[in-house]
Each structure stands twice: as C-alpha cells, then as structure tokens.
Structure 1
Amino acid sequence: MKPIAARIRDFPTTVFTEFSALAQKHQAVNLGQGFPDFDGPEEIREAAVRAVRGGVNQYAVSSGAVVLKEAVAEHALRFYGQKVDPGSEVIVTNGATEALFDVTLGLVDPGDEVIVFEPYYDSYVANVTMAGGVPRYVLLRPPDADHARWWYDPAELEAQFTSKTKFILLNTPHNPTGKVFDRAELEHIASLCIRHDVLAVADEVYEHITFEPARHVRLATIPGMAERTITISSGGKSFSFTGWKVGWAIGTPALCSAVQKTHQFVTFAVAGPMQHAIAEALRLPDAYFIELAQSYRKKRDLLVEMLDTVGLRPIAPDGAYFVMAQIGHLGFPDDFEFCRYLTRDIGVAAIPPTAFYAEHHRVHGSHLARFAFCKRDETLLSAREKLLARLSAK
C-alpha cells in the first residue's frame, strides 16, 4: 500500500521546520524564519478584541467580510490609483499563502506551465506541482560589475513563454533577495504577457516595505495588465500580525471566481474578528506606512553593517525584510552546512536559500545565506554580539 499521494510524495520537509527546531535546540538567535518577534499596532489589536466582544464570532461570508473588502478597495485606490469593485473583485483568504494556492488550483490544468523567478517562496512550486502544472524557471542573479541590483536576463525570460504558459508568478518586493522590480522591468513583463495572452499573479505582500530610491509599482496598474493580473497581499507583513492569516486576492470578476471556487472548499471563510481589525489597519494614516518603511530601513542597515563586519558580504535589499549574504569565500561545502554551523556553533540561525531553487539550479544558491531583520533591535543586537564574538574570531 502507498498511503501518500504521488503529487506530494517527493515534497521535502520545509526548510523552516529544520532550522526553527535547530535554533530552539541550541538557543540560537533566530534570524531565519521571516516573522516579527514583536506585535503590530496596539489600536489594531484592540480592534480585534472589540470585534470578538461585539459578537463577530461565527462564520464570515466565504468571499470575505464586506468591511474588509471595502478597505482593500480603498487601499488600492489610495496607494495605486487602482479602482477595485469590493463586491466582485476581492476575495479574502487565510493569508496570502492560501490565496496563492487557490489561484494556482483555480487556474492551472495538468500540463499548463507557470513561470517562476528563482529563488522563490517555497510554496510556489509546490502549488504548481499539486495542480499538475509544470514550473519554468527564470534566474535572478546577484549584483555584479554590470548590475547594481539583482537582475534577470530579458532573453531568458522571453524564452520561457510558450503556448502552454498559463501565468507568470511575480513576487515584488521579492523574498528572499529583496529585489523591487522597477517600472521598466514590469513593462517588459507586461509586454510578454500581452503578446502571449498570459495571465500574471503578483505576490505583493511586502508592498509597504521598500527603501528609497526603490518604489513599489503594482503590476496591475501597468497598461494592459488590469484585466489579466491577480494581485495578492495580506495584513501579515504590513502590520506585523502574521499569525492572524488574513490575505486577499484582487482581480477581475472572472479571475476572482476561479479563486473563490477553490477557496470555498479549502478554508471556506477567514476568522471574522481578524478581518474587521485588518480593515481598520488598512485605513491607518499615511504616517504609519512611512514610519514602517523607515523603521525597517534602520533594521536593514544594522543587519547589513554587522554581517559586513564579520565578513559575510551582504547584499543590501531594496525591499522586504531579508538580507542575502555571500558566503562562498568561507570554505563551506554549501549553504546548508554553513547555516547549520552558524546555528549550532555561533548561536545565530539563518536560512539556506538553495531550498528556494529547483534541484538542478541549487548551485546558484549554495554560496548564499538568508537573514531576516523583522526583529526587535534587542534581537538584532544580540545576534551582532554573537557574530562579533565568535564568527569574526574564526
């Protein structure tokens, strides 16, 4: 008897499971998994409490509470000038991860191809595989003598579009590299989608965490992309409530219908009190979002400085809250061995990014390590102390 379905039989245990357990075992400062070790705004926590006490405790409407869908539409107009019908063009999901799963299951038939930039958030390829689709990869390369930022080869991207392509999956700001795709790159991607009549799925969960001069541009606002883009975001990253798992998808009524047809049989509905609270969060004043980016810039700079001091050659990100550091010069056989050593012997946990590459492309990530800076300053300073005392002495 083979109790495990073939579609998931070869899935490895997520890299976060291994390194979170290893960090706990060795009492390491955990700069691995990307969740804040602090809570979001007090007034938003109180909004959730008010909703619980006010009786918002039964099943929510499957497609999302009206109050949140309206807030998502207002947010889209406020920040991007994007007009969204909250009744037919927004679906609320159990975090962005569920939205990505729903989109993939709702759009991909066996044999369809999905273009993914590498390295990628680990659920992307798992979703495509479960849907019977075929991932096609485009490599993001680190800065070099000719490129100041992470970059891709336009010809390589163009070659991945075929008659079988269903959609391209774009994450900007990007996890784990911190790349923010600029307007020229988005226009290039849009031109290919239009030429080949392909959809786009834009994972924009880090939309409010960018560092000047980088600026987040919503792919759906590029001419010709409104009708062929599903935009995904959530309250986890912008408001530091990752455990609430409130996400959403924005798209045309037809595209949202595909999301909803899957969503209704996955989680059916999202926790009502958290939806009401995130609705209030989306309406916070501009000053909140400005301070969020400024705060993360300070944390980024602190992490970059301390990694550079101990010789880890960090690549400063333009957005999101991760730093990729080059480790190839340190003599370790690969990134897993380095990150195990760092966690076990130095007391600081990081994530080996080869977990975010296809197996035959892992050489491109084996000389890197990913560090998260969505942590309290005390946490970052504790990691700095350990790195300076132990790693720099090696």
Structure 2
Amino acid sequence: MNLLQRPTEERSRLRAVDLIQLSTSGIRARPLRAVLSALGIAIGIAAMVAVLGISASSQAQLQQRLDALGTNLLTVESGKDLFGAETPLPKDSSGRVIRVAGVLESAGVGTLSGVRVYRSDLIPSAETGGLSVRAVDTALDRVLAASIRSGAWLNDATAAFPSVVLGSGAARQLGIEQPGTLIWLGGQQFSVVGILDPVALAPELDTSALIGNAVAKERLGYDGAPTRLYVRSGEDTLQKTRKLLPQTLSPEKPESVSVSRPSDALAAKGAADETFTGMLLALGSLGLLVGGIGVANTMIISVMERRREIGLRRAIGARRAHIRRQFLGEALVLSALGGLAGAGLGAAATAGFAASGGLPFALPTYVPLAAIGSTLIVGAIAGIVPAWRAARVSPTAALSG
C-alpha cells in the first residue's frame, strides 16, 4: 500500500520554482491592483527610512560640529549676591585660570552695561535692537575657534583703538556687510574691522559688538572685571578642571561661580531631535500597518475571485499546504516589492534632504535592510488569514459554483 501511495505523494510535491511562479501569477494577472497594494507598504517604509536617514544625517552633522569645535570648552560666569546684584569675576581671572592644572588657554569677556551701539548718531537712543557691547581679550577668537566672515579679528594694535568686530546678527541688524564702516558706539564713532560667522559655542556673541579691553577701559569706563570666561581644557582633565575653577576664582564663595560646557547644549539639542524622530518613526509605523491591512484586504479579495482556480488545483492533486504556501508567498512578494520601493524612496529622500541642507549623507546600512525585513513580517502576518481561507476551499463547492 505504501508503494501505491508514493507516486501520488511525488506528483503532489511543490517545488520552489513552481511556488515562485504561483506566488507571482496573481500579481502578473492584476498588476494595477498589485501596485496599489504595494504602494501602501512603500509609503510607510519610505517614511520610516527617510525619518531615520535624516535623523542620522543630522546627528552626523552635529558630531562633525562637535569634533570641529571641541567638547573641551568651559564657560565660567559670575553669579549674583543675596540682593540679586551681579558679582563680577576677579580682574585677574585669566591669570588665575591659566594656572589651573589642565587649562590650555582662556579668554575673558566683559559686558558693558549702559553702553549701546547704533548704526549712526541719528538713530533714536531707545532703538537699541537688543545689541550688546562687550570688551574682549584678543585671544577670544582662538579659544572659541570662531571664524571671520570678512575683515580681521582684533589684535594688540586695533584693540587699543576705537575698532569693533561685529557678531553675525549684529552686523545684519545694523545693515553692515563689509568692514570699514563707522558705527556709533558708546557715544562715539568706532570703525568696523571685522564681521564674525555665527559662533556655535557662544551664541550670545552673535548679537554683540566686540571691542578691545584697552579701548573699553580708556573710553568707556570698563573696570577690567570680566563677566564671562571661556576656558579650553585638556579632554582627559576636563572634569577635574571644571571642579577647580570655582574655587580658584572665588575661594570665599565658590558657589557664586557657575561653570558649564557649551557643547552640552548642542548634545541636548541632538537628544531632543532624537525624541522627535521617535515620534515620526511611530507615525511611519502606522503607515506600514495601514499598508499591511491593504495587502490583507487585497489577498482576501484575490481568494474570493480565484475560488475556481483553487478548486481546480485541489482537484488535480494540490494539497492544502500548497494552497497556503501559494497565497502566503503572494502576500510576501507584494510586501517585498513595497519594501524595496519604499527603501529606495526613503534613501532618495534622505539624499535629497542632505544635499539641500548641506548635511552629510549618513543612512546606516541596517535601516533599509531592517525596513525590508519588517515588510516581510507584515506581509506574512497579512497573508496568514487569506492563505488559511484559500486552503479551506472545498474543491467540489468551488467547481460547482
């Protein structure tokens, strides 16, 4: 009896090549329906890949900025007393700080209260525009790794005369594009010798007019006590240096001196962007879920329309397992097509966004691979019920109907 059953079992065997052909027959017969079904998957995958790719590109740009600017910059600020008045740092702050172990270099900045800057003396005094005037050390540009858009930075010569370097925002607000222009600062004329690019680690300088300490003392009554210090430290001694600075600058009240690291703010911004990316990724997952529902709906309709085909295949020897594999394979093919198209669209969107925003293209390899893998999982889940229903179709009922 086993010998009689063996030929029947061999005839009912489903080869892999036959399975692939059967799984694509419905797609080839109704290409428009297949495209529309795969489109839902493609949109969800494209959204997920694009969100992850753009986020990775943004993080790569942030890391490049941090590497270029350095994470070893510390900002030291003066605090306030019990009455809310600002307690300035010692006049010899730079000299004290440079003796601290691990400090490479430092530069002080003093905000000149009551001193305003205008385009000319014809501007009403109330229209300050929120611009500040700060007295700075000549080493400030080197400590902050600031770049000059046009002109030059203050040197020992120009810092002793009425010369000013404008932050990018200050220059824009005053309507100045090139050095050599005269502005009205502190009730007298100063010559613009340079304009800065935006300073990422010290954004307060973007809306400031920067003059030398010497001219600030001579003409504007600056007492030489800085309100802020920028300190470069060795990477390996950064934390130790950070703890020593308050005690060095104010031994009696070290708690009145605050020390921060500007790069932490950029890193926090990156963390906030990652949180927002998670929300967008969740929305993309919803799109993928909707696409999976569309595939399931398409497969159920396909089973209903192909009942006679299923009945005929069952009548000539196809087993229920073969029918299940056929329709499950068709769902997987539909999902895979959508996943491939979506991964390509997402990568293209990432490349376009990176090119338009000047970002590095940084799409991790695992992202499109994981996206395609997730579509196969969605396709398998979406195809289980239709494949099961197809396998339960009775040959006699299908052929007689």
Say which structure is richer in helix.
Answer: 2
TM-score band, normalised by the shorter chain?
under 0.3
Give TM-score, length-normalised by structure 1: 0.21
Structure label with greater radius of gyration: 2
